[in-house]
Amino acid sequence: MPKDVDKALSVCLHPKKGKPNLRKISANIERAKQHIDKAHSNLRAMEVMFDNDLFGWTIICGYYAMYHALLASLFRIGIRATAHYCAIVAFKKFYVERGKVKPEYISYIKKAKQLEQKYAESLEKAQENRVIEQYGVEILSNDDAEEIIDDAKDFVLKIEEVLVE
């Protein structure tokens, strides 16, 4: 995918092959509310995972809390996203570039996605019958999890504020 937001947005809206990963729809406040509810559910799950020292799952839940809040923001303005990358690109275009949220909120979700990807890759390797100990449980730390917890809570709260405006 292109680095430039406008080019990436164009690819998401008009791919050379397959269906678009972003579609313009009527603004859907009810669907936005459902995604915010799902974000809060993921925040609760994130806390439970953290309290049980399940840091990988803490990060995954934190990422999905942010992702569902991001989807809520898009439904609010009439955009339906079917791919994570395209949802993030649309969020950058319609919220960050327009000054509705600070650029740091993109870094929150990107950081969570990178840690979640790292965790998912380790699971794939284990699934391929490699030695589980090689990938260990130390891949993701308590510090990583705590940072995502703070980021996820802040991100969801900010999106709720933007949706009320």
Instruction: For residues 152 and 165, give the distance between their C-alpha atoms in angstroms, rounded to a whole number.
Output: 20
Q: What is the pLDDT of residues 104-125, one digit of tens each?
A: 888 888 888 877 776 555 444 4
Q: Do 99 and 93 meet the contact criterion of CB atoms below 8 Å apart? A: no
For residue 11, pLDDT over 90 is answered with yes
Q: What pLDDT was estimated at residue 148? A: 85
* Closest CA relative to residue 64, chosen from 119, 130, 15, 27: 119
For residue 141, pLDDT over 80 is answered with no
Residue 86 tokens read as 């395209």
83's torsion region: left (phi>0), alpha (psi -120 to 50) or beta? beta
Instruction: For residues 106 and 75, give the distance between their C-alpha atoms in angstroms, rounded to a whole number.
Output: 18
Q: What is the mean pLDDT of the chain?
A: 84
Domains of the chain, start order: 5-164 (1.20.120.330)
Give the long-range contacts of residues 94-97, CB within 8 A, separation 24 or more.
95/162, 97/5
Write down the pTM of the prediction: 0.83
Residue 89 tokens read as 């690109």
Residue 127 tokens read as 């699934």
Helical H segments across the chain, by residue range? 5-13, 29-51, 55-76, 84-91, 104-127, 132-135, 142-164
